Amino acid sequence: MAETTAQRLEADRVIIFDTSLRDGEQSPGISLDQGEKLEIAEQLAKLGVDVIEAGFPIASQGDFEGVQAIARAVRGPVICGLSRTARQDVDRCWEAIQDAERTRIHVFIATSEIHMKNKLRMTPEQVRSEASSAVAHARGYTDNVEFSPEDASRSDFDFMCEVLQAAVDSGATTLNIPDTVGYAIPEEFGARIASIREKVKGDYIISAHCHNDLGLAVANSLAAIQAGARQVECTINGIGERAGNAAMEEIVMTLQTRGEFFAGPWTGIHTEELAKTSRLVSRLTGYHVQYNKAVVGRNAFAHEAGIHQHGVLSDRETYEIMDPTAVGQGESKIVLGKHSGRHAFADTLKKMGYDIHGDALNQAFTRFKELADRKVNLSEEDLEALVAEEVGDTVRYRYQLVSCDSQGGTNSTPTATIVLDLDGEKLEANAHGDGMVEAACNAIKKLTGVEGRLTDYAVTSVTGGVDALADVALRFEVDGASMPGRGLSTDVVEASARAFLNAINRIVRVKDTGQELKKANRPGSLDGV
Ligand code: KIV
Ligand code: ZN
């Protein structure tokens, strides 16, 4: 029977499987708490991803609770949990995801000789049997089961296909081919995907999961799509282990921009949400997006050379292959000033996609007034940064900054006085430092009693110009765990104090909820993932 257009369209849909909260969260220094994971997951749903890999439930209690919270709250995408082949892993994974609208269990085991010998200490026959029984066990819970032969690109092809066949015969509905160590080359990876499709019989979707050790993760994912893959596993901003995973925004925009080249494959991503999602992930993970990052970098649509500017002014397409508004990188508009009222403020935020009410709105409005008093006009970017800082988090932080006053200069010792609010009580401390920023941080340490080491520190401006808001991003290391913090102000010292307090509040919140701070090498982390 001839294929209808609708069937052809559906067959060419590329499922976007986001693993920012699992593979991305495994990046060194990233530690998201439950509220932050939920916030990212809600935004991923808004972005239109098909599957959210919410975490690895057996890895730790925190991972389990994060996955469970997402499964219970987020509607739209399939919610997936990762699992090794052990029965208790699969059981724990199911326990975490079972309340989701739609569920998936993702089972994996390594098939390369080096992993089987050195890590698993299993024979190939044991690996095949483990894969098969774990998939069958997972199928007892859900009819949506994915199987991955870890380190696929360095695995013996025939053996890997035997394991994949065993997985399909036991009920796997998606076969995901991971280039775990980022070793593959596009032509080679595409050919491997095509050969797997020929050799492994059954009804399954083939998927690619590429790491970026050689900077080829996106190219390999696209080669896989050309060879018939209809799912790609990727992360926002390409975050992930080592050099990261394939960047979702780059894959999606390549398929869209070069549709005529790929002839068919498409995604259901609402691309205009890409920039916003990128900023949210960057803020909560503390991973900066490089200025010249494709699609979502702040310079991705900036034109410096006069000849380019002239070309773009006469016709945007002279030097732009994508419309910035199509990825949510619209022109910055001046939106509000100090005379704008609460109604205009709420209304503008609503138009920008932030529907906030009650305490959150009051809190954001108070902060808006403070900033508007110091800056003539606030742009959309300023407002978005403000909302992100003030109401981005679902739980109110313990300490609030009331005031930050600092003094310093070439011939005087820098000092700072900080006033914090702790449950209505005002706490004040004064401290010295090598500079005013250090003095402010020392005063905050005195008040909160949280000791540690400031590691990274970077100041950027939200928009251009000398009246731009300063956006400070830093990391504070406590007991071997590193926590990001972000702060915003017209004044650099105050922005730094806010960022520092933000990191401390996040540490306090993790401790208050009985969770463990994620160390660089977590004791609970599991081999091979
Ligand atoms: O890179 C990898 O092999 C993985 C698997 C768990 C899919 O992340
Ligand atoms: Zn991976």
**How do residues 255-291 score in pLDDT, each as one tens digit?**
999 999 999 999 999 999 999 999 999 988 989 899 8
- Return d(Cα 418, Cα 213) in angstroms, integer: 44
State in Å: Cα 275 to ligand 1 middle.
26
Is the Cβ–Cβ distance between 274 and 238 less than 8 Å? Answer: no
State in Å: Cα 529 to ligand 2 middle.
7
Is the Cβ–Cβ distance between 316 and 303 less than 8 Å? Answer: no
What φ, ψ does residue 489 adopt, rounded to 5°? -170, 165
Buried b (16+ CB within 10 A) or exposed e, 499-524: bbbbbbbbbbbbeeeebbbbeeebee
Q: Which ligand is nearest to the CA of 239?
A: 2
Q: Ligand 1, closest atom to CA 19?
A: 8
The answer, yes or no, to whether any atom of ligand 1 lies below 6 A from the CB of 178, is yes
State in Å: Cα 47 to ligand 1 middle.
23
* Residue whose CB lies within 8 A of the most ligand 1 atoms, among 23, 104, 213, for a mutation test: 23
Q: What is the pLDDT of residue 521?
A: 46
Tens-place pLDDT, residues 320-374? 899 999 999 876 666 788 888 888 888 888 877 777 888 888 888 888 888 888 8
Token code pair at residue 401:
């900054």
State in Å: Cα 33 to ligand 1 middle.
22
Q: Which ligand is nearest to the CA of 177?
A: 1
Q: 3-class DSSP state for residue 321?
A: coil
The answer, yes or no, to whether any atom of ligand 1 lies below 6 A from the CB of 399, is no
- Return d(Cα 417, Cα 403) in angstroms, integer: 8
Q: What is the pLDDT of residue 524?
A: 38
- Return d(Cα 469, Cα 490) in angstroms, integer: 5
Which class for 449: exposed (0-12), middle (13-18), buried (19 or more C-beta within 10 A)? exposed
Would you give the distance in Å from CA 68 to the centre of its chain? 18
Q: What is the pLDDT of residue 311?
A: 66
CA-only gyration radius of the chain, Å: 25
The answer, yes or no, to whether any atom of ligand 1 lies below 6 A from the CB of 148, is yes
Closest CA to ligand 1's atom 1 = 180
* Residue whose CB lies within 8 A of the most ligand 1 atoms, among 56, 80, 89, 108, for a mutation test: 108
Q: What is the pLDDT of residue 517?
A: 75
The answer, yes or no, to whether any atom of ligand 1 lies below 6 A from the CB of 108, is yes
Q: What is the pLDDT of residue 377?
A: 75
Token code pair at residue 303:
């034109």
The answer, yes or no, to whether any atom of ligand 1 lies below 6 A from the CB of 529, is yes
Token code pair at residue 504:
């401390």
Q: What is the pLDDT of residue 488?
A: 84
Identity of residue 517: L
Which class for 319: exposed (0-12), middle (13-18), buried (19 or more C-beta within 10 A)? middle
- Return d(Cα 1, Cα 9) in angstroms, integer: 16
- Return d(Cα 176, Cα 198) in angstroms, integer: 15
Would you give the distance in Å from CA 191 to the centre of its chain? 30
Q: Which residues of the chain have pLDDT under 50?
A: 394, 521-529
The answer, yes or no, to whether any atom of ligand 1 lies below 6 A from the CB of 240, is no
Closest CA to ligand 1's atom 5 = 150
- Return d(Cα 11, Cα 193) in angstroms, integer: 17
Residues with CB under 5 A from ligand 2 (ion): 23
Q: 3-class DSSP state for residue 413?
A: strand
- Return d(Cα 452, Cα 40) in angstroms, integer: 27
The answer, yes or no, to whether any atom of ligand 1 lies below 6 A from the CB of 209, is yes
Q: What is the pLDDT of residue 528?
A: 43
Q: Ligand 1, closest atom to CA 233?
A: 7
Quick one: CA dihedral 33, 517, 79, 290, positive or negative?
positive
- Return d(Cα 318, Cα 315) in angstroms, integer: 6
Identity of residue 327: V
Q: What is the DSSP letter of 232?
A: E
Is the Cβ–Cβ distance between 52 and 78 less than 8 Å? Answer: yes
Token code pair at residue 377:
């006009």
Beta bridge partners of 119: none
State in Å: Cα 148 to ligand 2 middle.
10
- Return d(Cα 274, Cα 276) in angstroms, integer: 6
The answer, yes or no, to whether any atom of ligand 1 lies below 6 A from the CB of 471, is no
Domains of the chain: 20-285 (3.20.20.70), 302-391 (no CATH), 399-512 (3.30.160.270)
Q: What residues contact 426, with CB distance under 8 A and at least 6 apart?
A: 402, 419, 420
pTM of the model: 0.84
Q: What is the pLDDT of residue 9?
A: 82
Token code pair at residue 344:
């205009």
The answer, yes or no, to whether any atom of ligand 1 lies below 6 A from the CB of 39, is no
Task: State the distance between the two ends of the chain, measured CA to CA, in whole angstroms.
Answer: 44
